[in-house]
Amino acid sequence: MSSESLPTFVVVGHVNKGKSSVVATLLEDPSIPIDLVPGTTTEAAAYDFKIDGKSIFRLIDTPGFQEAEATLEQLKMRSQNAGDHQNAIRDFIKQFDGSGRFHDEVELLRPLLQVGPVGLLYVVDASRPYRATHEAEMEILRWLGRPGMALMNRIGPEDHAESWRPVLQQFFSVVRDFNAHEANMEARLGLLATFGELHVDWKEPLKTAMDSFAARAKQRVSASASALAQFLVEAWSHVETMNYTPGSADSGANLEGDKLSSRYEKHLRKLEADARRTVEAVYGFAPLDHLEQNFNLTPEDLFDQEGWRFFGLTQTQLTARAAAAGGVVGGSLELITGGLSFGAGVALGSAVGAAGVWFGSHRVAKHWTPKHTRFAKLFPGQHGHMRAFGPIANDAFAYVLLDRALVHLRVVQHRAHARQGPLNLDDTAGFRVGDMAAAQRKVVDRTLHACQSAGKQKQNPGAELVENLASCLQAFAQGS
């Protein structure tokens, strides 16, 4: 498509009302400069949406109106009647271009004079009341005679749309609500469809663009689900091992156990952080900061048992699972107390679990030492000089990791690309493992148990397991 016939939309409006935010969100491009300081955009800049290197449509971001009333005065001085409005604008640009006067108005008007059809998007902040000074802006835009629409953005919490609407309708045939920081996929595609209505030749290319955005969304869910499945299978099967010299100063069981469990925790945290980065990159974001007050209870403490309450399973479900997992929990109690027989440990573990004292960090995973009768079988060739921690010994903790991953994916998935600041992970309703269909839960359970046995046997859980879990997570994430 030649650049003359490329559907082109110039985004204009008062300074600091969200013009660049509209461009960033529509094009899913977080690199476009956005700032609370007025006058961030100083030059007109064209951004093309491309498929396989071919431009499909173009948005032109512009500086905001700074002196609309004075500009309109200048234009009126150059015009006799409606027949010469565009010439008056041309004269205005010619006179002030490069002079330092009316810099922003010259920059924003120039792209609207280009040859061929050009659409105009007038962005207002409907969280602030309409003021008569905006009328000069709309009057100038009317002089251009371009097909256009008004977008009511909301920067603040108030809503003054009703003071804006009757005025906007006098100048624009289409007036739409569009919140640049909240717009979901449906709102974005809806707006692109409206763009397609502005000119007879634009419908088809805009439809192509919409299909491409929808396909990209699907592909992103699929790539994220694969990354999460890979992470979970690794985390659920991970076993941290440590060699030690018997009789050395720090070979006491507790000291070494602490060292080993903290290495295990560190490894799981790193796996989680890497998976988050991957998902953020899949969605086109540079690594994001995370706001997670509820998500991590003590700062960034994935291993704080209080935090588990927040995730997936209800307290009753957790307690039931704790009872079921008690046998394994008992196994590690034996180590901690030292003197208990395995049988007594199992009994105590079940009792502790059922009582709702869920899982202390020592019980996240089993701590194996050569004292365990199964040690030699699990770690053949190791004779008393190695300890191991893992794999995850209780399902609830495994589910905590899954929930955290799902919540993160959902928040990234719905984040508008204009959005500034950290990712808020505390807004998490309706996207946890507890919301999965029974069949999906079954896949998750099966995968978890396969990972646990693979981990215990020091085997690789296998690509098929990862793929099955990925398909399950993809179906869940797409359905939400």
Ligand X SMILES: Nc1nc2c(ncn2[C@@H]2O[C@H](COP(=O)(O)OP(=O)(O)OP(=O)(O)O)[C@@H](O)[C@H]2O)c(=O)[nH]1
List of residues contacting Mg ion (CB under 5 A): 19-20, 40-41
Is residue 157 a contact point for ligand X (CB under 6 A)? no
The secondary element (H helix, E strand) that includes residue 215 is helix 203-237
Q: How far is the CB of 23 from ligand X (least distance, A)?
A: 8
Tokens of 72: 């309109």
Stretch that binds ligand X, among 31-39, 140-148, 427-435, 442-450 (CB under 6 A): 31-39
Is residue 27 a contact point for ligand X (CB under 6 A)? no
- Which positions from 137 through 156 interact with ligand X, judged by CB under 6 A? 153-155
Cβ nearer to Mg ion, comparing 62 with 447: 62
**29 neighbors 191 (Cβ within 8 angstroms):** no
Is residue 181 a contact point for ligand X (CB under 6 A)? yes
**136 neighbors 71 (Cβ within 8 angstroms):** yes
Residue whose C-alpha is closest to residue 13's, from 120, 145, 156: 120
Cβ nearer to Mg ion, comparing 17 with 290: 17
Stretch that binds ligand X, among 15-23, 95-103, 250-258, 321-329 (CB under 6 A): 15-23
Q: How far is the CB of 133 from ligand X (least distance, A)?
A: 15
Please give, one letter per residue, the 3-state secondary structure of 224-249: HHHHHHHHHHHHHHCCEEEECCCCCC
> b vs e for 392-412, b when ≥16 Cβ sit within 10 Å of the residue's Cβ?
bbbbbbbbbbbbbbbbbbbbb
Q: Which of 8, 10, 12, 17 binds ligand X (CB under 6 A)?
A: 17
Q: How far is the CB of 11 from ligand X (least distance, A)?
A: 8
Say if residue 216 is exposed, middle or buried (CB neighbours under 10 Å; 0-12, 13-18, 19+). middle
Cβ nearer to ligand X, comparing 35 with 306: 35
Residue 43 interacting entry, from ligand X, Mg ion, none, C-beta within 5 to 8 Å by type: none
Is residue 179 a contact point for ligand X (CB under 6 A)? yes
- Which positions from 48 through 67 interact with ligand X, judged by CB under 6 A? 63-64
Is residue 15 a contact point for ligand X (CB under 6 A)? yes
Q: How far is the CB of 15 from ligand X (least distance, A)?
A: 4
**120 neighbors 113 (Cβ within 8 angstroms):** no
Beta strands in 315-403 (DSSP E): 365-368, 386-392
Report the residue count for the chain: 480
The DSSP output letter for 362 is: G
| Residues engaged in binding ligand X (CB under 6 A) | 15-21, 34-36, 38-41, 63-64, 153-155, 179-181, 420
